[in-house]
Amino acid sequence: MNSPVSFLICTNDNVIYADVEQRLVRAIPGAKIDRASDGADANRFLNEHYPSVIYISQSFDEGGFEFCTLVRRKRGYAEQPVIMLLERITEQAIERVTQCGASDFDCRASGFQSLAFRTKQLLKQSQSRDNKAKPKETTENLHIDTLTGLLNRQHFHMSFEQSLNEALEAKRLSAVLLIDIDDFKRINSSFDYQTGDYLLRLVARRLSSVVRGNDILMRESSYSQTKKTLARFGGDEFTLFADGIEAEGDVTAIVERCLKSISSPIVLDGHEVTLKASIGIALVQKDGEDVSTLLRNAERAMYEAKRTLDNSYAFYDSEMASAAQTRFLMESELRKAIENDQLSINFQPFVSLNDGFISSMEVLCRWNHPEMGTITPDQFIPLAEETGLIISLGNWVFKESCRQIAEWLEQGTIVNRVAINISSMQFNHSNFVSHLEDILIETNVSASHIELELTESIVMRDIDENISKLKALKSLGFTIAIDDFGTGYSSLSYLKKLPINTLKIDRSFVSNIAEKATDMAIIEAILALAEKLGLSVVAEGIETAEQLAFFKDRHCQWLQGYLFSPAKPANVMTDMLGTYNPLLAE
């Protein structure tokens, strides 16, 4: 091997760890072997090291397959060898291995007999891929990413470090840009991986054209030209080191040209596709003086850009490091909260427009931390989605909701429907439908009492496959609602095919009906569309008497919002169910 071989074994099972470690020690003497007992340990390790092969047990952390998916999303890990350690080989397990992006698998039931062989094969493939040469092999083309023609990850650090040292010695202003293509995985799933490879090559050419030539002002008295190091950093990320820039404003000019070049429309199979990107920027000296610090800070800035707007950029500032630490601590606390039942659910009622009767509601999750106090959903839900905890969080909310429904029904309380939000990661899980069915059986609750709320962006992705899944849910007795309707990209031709029951009008339209005629027109169009398709409509975010009057005049069936009631704990909701809201009661 050209570089030291190292392995990371991700498992909380001591027996699996001992068995795998023993086989690796025998097969590859001298290899460095590390262990991660949970997701937090693994993430910390992967942020600082780059193991030759990663092993993930099926039961690891929140689920081994889910963790593998998260690894594939990490910077530089799109192609790194990952072996799943299965409990036993089943058709479903093999399907999950493929879906999560693992390179290979072995099985505990067979004693991991082929693990050494599979590991050696993956190491050979990695070495072959890194050293893949053109007909005439040269030192230069060994440094090249074979897909895009840019510098590969292994040799980017060497080139970057050399240029960085020169910049520091000459006290030149330089910058590191981390460029991430937004939602690239969806494009791969919508078309195919060959199309994805084509797009990566196209992005590489576009970026190369932007960073060459006289696009950056040169300081003529100190050097003859501006130096730029551009690399594909793995997966759908690119890194640019711009050395010798006149001022921070010049960095902004480079970034804007990068974004403009990436977002130029592309035609694929007759469809026009527009790529978008998020760019994080770290300035040499101001934000770091070594490779790892600058890359880490550029990555923090890139995630900040992602959290703001599509096709945007952000400069690193010191508060981002503090925010990153806070997010890491909050992730750990959220994991504990889920495991130790520190969360709670509240219920916000739907009010019937006809008579004000209250028998339906939406479930909303709440987190009251013993030290940090109330943590709002807009703080912890995005964190759960980013870390993969959303699956266990969503499962907890669903099960707790079913438990509460069962309690109400046993008391004779009138419960029509309880709406539960479903995340994208939950819905796309291969055993999502069967898992919900298992909880219904365990809690002895009929699916007819539950409405599943999904955003239209979730439903419209992989539409044909999702229609089948929605039909399976309907066959169990669930009703289906499209949440935040009007904010996504539903096709009317597909909408009429979807096995859904309800459209929820997003609060962003409701809040502006008094000022914006366009929002009023959109709402009226949604109500007319729902009537034609035989769907019920819920208007959320009703906060004023004017908004109430608007929807009463247009005969919207269900209303929800602070005008009627904020979300309440179960014991308060018990007293509200079966009553009439005075604002609508006749």
- pLDDT, tens digit (0-9, with 9 covering 90-100), for 370-425: 888 888 888 888 888 877 888 889 999 999 999 999 999 999 998 999 999 999 88
CA distances from 499 to 190, 429, 448, 496, 512 (A): 21, 19, 15, 8, 30
- What is the band of 368 on the pLDDT scale with cuts at 50, 70, 90? confident
Confidence at residue 229, expressed as pLDDT on a 0 to 100 scale = 58
Pick from 76-80, 126-130, 342-346, 410-414: least confident: 126-130
Confidence at residue 476, expressed as pLDDT on a 0 to 100 scale = 95
Confidence at residue 147, expressed as pLDDT on a 0 to 100 scale = 72
| Each residue's pLDDT tens digit, 462-494 | 777 889 999 999 999 999 999 888 665 555 666
Q: Cβ(481)–Cβ(499) under 8 Å?
A: no
Confidence at residue 490, expressed as pLDDT on a 0 to 100 scale = 53
d(CA 278, CA 236): 11
Confidence at residue 221, expressed as pLDDT on a 0 to 100 scale = 26
pLDDT above 50 (res 159):
yes
Confidence at residue 495, expressed as pLDDT on a 0 to 100 scale = 75
Confidence at residue 69, expressed as pLDDT on a 0 to 100 scale = 86
Confidence at residue 394, expressed as pLDDT on a 0 to 100 scale = 93
Residue ranges with strand state E in 370-515: 373-375, 417-421, 450-455, 479-485, 502-505
Residues above pLDDT 70, as percent of the chain? 84
Pick from 3-12, 93-102, 183-192, 308-317: least confident: 183-192
Specify whether domain 141-316 bears CATH 3.30.70.270: yes
Mean pLDDT for 443-452 is 96
pLDDT above 60 (res 510):
yes
| Each residue's pLDDT tens digit, 55-111 | 999 999 878 998 998 888 776 677 788 999 998 888 778 778 877 888 888 888 878
Mean pLDDT for 239-244 is 81
Confidence at residue 375, expressed as pLDDT on a 0 to 100 scale = 84
Mean pLDDT for 428-436 is 88
pLDDT above 60 (res 562):
yes
Q: Burial, 311: exposed, middle or buried (Cβ in 10 Å; 0-12, 13-18, 19+)?
A: middle
Confidence at residue 542, expressed as pLDDT on a 0 to 100 scale = 92
Lookup: tokens for 375: 């943590």
Are both 141-316 and 325-576 of the same fold?
A: no
Confidence at residue 253, expressed as pLDDT on a 0 to 100 scale = 85
| 3-class secondary structure, 39 | helix
d(CA 504, CA 492): 16
| Each residue's pLDDT tens digit, 433-442 | 999 999 999 9
Domain boundaries, the chain: 6-130, 141-316, 325-576
Confidence at residue 215, expressed as pLDDT on a 0 to 100 scale = 29
Residues above pLDDT 90, as percent of the chain? 28
Residues paired with 280 in a beta bridge: 178, 314
CA distances from 136 to 142, 147, 348, 461 (A): 11, 17, 68, 44
pLDDT above 80 (res 583):
no
- What is the band of 559 on the pLDDT scale with cuts at 50, 70, 90? very high
Confidence at residue 437, expressed as pLDDT on a 0 to 100 scale = 94
d(CA 196, CA 188): 5
CATH of 325-576, one of 3.40.80.10, 3.30.450.20, 3.20.20.450, 3.40.640.10: 3.20.20.450
Specify whether domain 6-130 bears CATH 3.40.50.300: no
- The mean pLDDT value of the chain amounts to 82
Mean pLDDT for 254-274 is 80
Confidence at residue 133, expressed as pLDDT on a 0 to 100 scale = 37
pLDDT above 60 (res 138):
no
pLDDT above 90 (res 287):
no
d(CA 476, CA 460): 21
Lookup: tokens for 9: 């074994």
d(CA 479, CA 501): 6
- What is the band of 328 on the pLDDT scale with cuts at 50, 70, 90? confident
Q: Burial, 345: exposed, middle or buried (Cβ in 10 Å; 0-12, 13-18, 19+)?
A: buried
Confidence at residue 126, expressed as pLDDT on a 0 to 100 scale = 73
Confidence at residue 224, expressed as pLDDT on a 0 to 100 scale = 30
For the CA atoms of 187, 190, 196, 202, the dihedral, rounded to the nearest 10 degrees, stands at: -60
| Each residue's pLDDT tens digit, 193-233 | 677 777 888 888 788 777 633 222 222 222 233 455 565 55
d(CA 64, CA 66): 5
